[in-house]
Structures are given as structure tokens and as C-alpha cells.
Chains A and B, each alone.
Chain A
Amino acid sequence: MANVFPAEFAELEPFADWAIHGERARYAKRISSTMEELQAFYDVAFPLLEKGTSYLEKVSLDGIGDEDKHLLWAFCSLVTIAFPVEAWGQPRVPDSGPASIDAVVEPAV
């Protein structure tokens, strides 16, 4: 089976369902996940982000390949779920109740 991510990031393969295009869809997955699921993804993805900085800096957005695109989206998901894991202790923003703010214009990649 083909890799979803570049070979250097093979550890992310079990979390390929986090390679999601669009903040709106990423946020929807965040709030429908449990803290255990968010933590499991974070624990694998965060060290890879720290190690992967120089790799990511070499990935040009012009003509970005599919594997790098998936990697970028998975790390965008890491950004989205870093708030519950590092600050909130819950998937939703505390005291945000019924409030929602939806992305209506987003970058193409």
C-alpha cells in the first residue's frame, strides 16, 4: 500500500485520517474526538514536528507533492488539537458553549 506521508514521517501513517484539508473539517474532527484520541495523535506528531522543521522549510508550496501536502495537513491538524492537549484539557474551548466561529476563506493548500 502506498505511503500517505513522506518516508521520513512513516510513524504518522496510523494517523493518516488526520491529513485533512481545511480548518473547518479539522476542527470538526477535533470536537468529535476524545481526549485520549487527541493525546495519542499529539504524542506521535509533536516530536515529528520538532524534528521535521528543516524538512518542512525545504517544502515549497508551489507544486507541492501529495505526500508533502498530506504531511502539511496532518501538522495543521496538530496545530488545531494542540489547544485541547496543551491548554484546555478538553476538545472544546472552555466557556465557548454554543458559540462557533467557522472558516469561510482558507488557503488553497
Chain B
Amino acid sequence: MAHFPKPSEGSWTEHFEIDTEPVSYADSISPEFYEQERDAIFRRTWLNVGRVEQLPRKGSYFTRELDAAGASVIVVRGTDGEVRAFHNVCRHRGNKLVWDDYPREETKGTCRAFTCKYHAWRYDLEGKLAFVQQESEFFGIDKSEYGLLAVQAEVWEGFVFVNLDPENTTPLREYLGRFAHGIEGYPFHKLTQVHKYRAEIGSNWKLFIDAFAEFYHAPILHSGQYTAGEAAKIKKYGYEALSYDIDGPHSMVSSWGGIAPPKEKAMVKPIERALRSGLFGPWDAPDIGMSTEELPPAINPTRSKVWGMDTFVFFPNFMLLIWRPNWVLTYHYWPTSYNTHIFEGTCYFVPPQNAFQRLQQELAAVSFKEYGLQDGNTLEATQTMLESRTVDAFPLCDQEVLLRHLHSTAQSYVRRHQQRRSETPATAS
């Protein structure tokens, strides 16, 4: 039985003109395809690397290891207050410029200048080479030619993005498109209480996005999280989204969610009743300066009264979840090989005023982790069986439309990139 209306075509998938044939998942088990994705996607699109709150003052910096792009970047707030990004490479002999103890681990801090550990070449916060040890030993070196290599960096609603393609000319806001425009004005800057989790996952990066871009699995995989009676009811009901939408490479799903607070308290576990909180967040929504009805237009786009949360998938690897009780969750998927990636999940809450509110948020964050643990291991099981190539045609249902869109988007990025390269005449090198 349909609970929510679908487009006139009869399905979301046909509405978005995506084919309805079984998919092969060949794009998730091939080392060769992954190498093409690195070049076509991760070296060429805007990637979210953090929030402005991680750069609270002049000289604040953090590094990000972008394995899929074969790069490490330094993101720093300059003396003029601007956020910039640089390749983390010393221009003298190529040493990694900023790192502590373990060269492959990310770091953060505050400084007035970046000094290389090797020969003390020093760069200011704007990337200019400021000091060369024993400069007179060099051969007429012009310091202005040896600044750090800049990476394009832009900020959208407090989210810091970088783009490693020096030829990229699409501004961030234009790239993020219609959904980002429609989210602008949401008070992200008020949600500064952060719980961040990290996991090494044994699957292709797209498979974890798949897991979080559909909720068809939720009544089954996560049934143990509900009370027994509630689990049976939810399973029978199944899952239908309020709506789906697609804008270029990006997509979103808008979901109902009656569990914060639940209609009946018997639906939830004792700890949730005691703390008035759970996976959907603390039931007592904090004041963020706007009511649910006043949220920017891309959030709860159907203006449904039973709206619970929206999931935005900003291609390639940034997901933004906005929950009705005024909190936000982000997901990032950083590939490390064709069948491994690092997953990051970050909860953002309004800072709690008292110990009870702090516990309500703890329960929401920990619930996310418990769900994520189930998802994470399922993915490794999926990856190994896809790699067995026993089966190569998988039917996806209409509630899995965003998965079809993600995989076809990745494939078209790779295809277009190959076309561009084949059209460019080869040059002698």
C-alpha cells in the first residue's frame, strides 16, 4: 500500500529518467575503475574537508589526507581571516611540511608560520616562502617563485571545501546547486557541540553511501533496536520516503519520522523513555531561532507535517542529514582503495545547557554508532560477495533510486573524463 504520493510516472526512478534494469555493481569491485574515479572525481570535484569552527583564529590550521586524490592538504586561516588551502609539500625537497610523529596521520594546531622539519624552510600563513636556511648557498633563488602550491578553497554555510583541479572554474556554490541554495540560512553556526566518529570500512566507498541513501533496509537490519512489538509493526509497514529529488550529481531523500517523540512511549526502549532521546535525536528540540515551518525551503521540501529528517547526498562523498529536533549529522566517505574506505560520522548539536541535555545528546550520538556498526560489517559481507562475481545483475527497488543515481553519476564522470582526455592531443613529454 502506498502511504505517500509518487510522481505521475508511477515511480521516482522513472520520473528521474533513470533506467529500471538490474545493476551490475562492476563499478564497486574493479581496481581499474577505482583508478579512473580517483582522476575523474576525487582530483576534480569540490570535497568537503571540515567546518570553519575548526579554524577559530588566525593561524589555526588542520591537515587532511586525501588518499583518493593522492594528496595531503593544509587548510589554514590567514592573518587576514581568510580560509586557504595548500598542498602539504615543502618546495625545497618535497618533504611533507606539516605532520606530527606519523607522516600519514592528520594533525591540527595554531601557528604563525609553517616550518619544514627537514631544513627549516619557512612559509607564512598565506603560503609565501619567508625564509630559506643558508639562502646564499643557493643559486640566485627567487623566493617569490617557491611559495606553497595553492589549492582552491571555498566556504559554504561554514563548510570548508577544497578542489584539487587547478583548471576548475566552477565556483563551489554553483557546483552544490539547487539543494545548497535552498538550505542556506539554516543556523549551522549554532550547532557547535561535536561528536565525531571514524571507522575503517572494508568496502567500496559507494556501497556505504548506498547503505545510508536508502531506508528500505532499516526495518530489517536494525529491527533489534526497536521493542519486539514495534519491530514487527515497522517490518509490516516497510519504508517509503516522503519524496526524492535529484539535481545534477547531487540527490536527496526526505523522510517521515514519528519517533522523536514517539506516538506511544511503549514503542521505544527504557533508556530512550528515561532520557527523552534516541536515534532521531533529543525529543526536546533546542531553540535555533526558527520553527520547523520556518526552515529554509529545501529542508522538508514537501512541507509534510510528519516530516522527520532529510538526507542530502552532495557528490561525491559528503552527506548532510538535517533532523527535525534541530540537529545535524554529516557523513564522509574517503576511499583508500577500490574495496576500502574511511568513514566519518559527525553529530552537531546546540551546546547543552545542563547535564541532562548532555545525556540526551550522548544517547543520540551513541545510537548512531550502534546502527553504524551494523551497517559497517554488512558492507564487508556485501563487498566480498560482489567481488566473487557469482552474480552480476541486482534488481533495485524504487526506494533505492538514489543508489542508481549515485552509481550512474560516478560512471558518467569517468566516461566524460576519458572522452576529454582522448580529445586532447597527446603532447611530447
Contact = CB atoms under 8 A, between A and B. Distances in A.
Contacts of A23: 195, 362, 365-366, 369
Interface stretch (A10-18, A32-40, A85-93): A85-93
A53 B356 contact: yes
B377 A80 contact: no
B335 interface: no
Interface in B340-358: 343-346, 351-358
Interface in A84-109: 86-88, 93-107, 109
Interface in B119-163: none
Interface residues of A, number: 41
A25 interface: no
B377 A101 contact: no
Interface residues on B, range: 35 or more
A59 to B, nearest CB: 4
B396 interface: no
Nearest to B198: A104
Contacts of A109: 358
Contact of B355 (A72, A80, A99, A104): A72
A19 interface: no
Contacts of B269: 82, 86-87
Contacts of B224: 87-88, 94
A93 B357 CA distance: 25
A105 B358 contact: no
Interface in B254-311: 269-271, 274-275
Contacts of A78: 271
B374 A107 contact: no
A66 to B, nearest CB: 13
A71 to B, nearest CB: 7
Contact of B377 (A49, A71, A99): A99
Question: Which 6 residue pairs of A and B lie closest in terms of their CB atoms, listed nearest first?
Answer: A105-B196, A82-B271, A59-B355, A99-B376, A56-B356, A99-B377
Interface of B: 193-201, 224-225, 269-271, 274-275, 343-346, 351-359, 362-363, 365-366, 369-370, 372-374, 376-378, 380
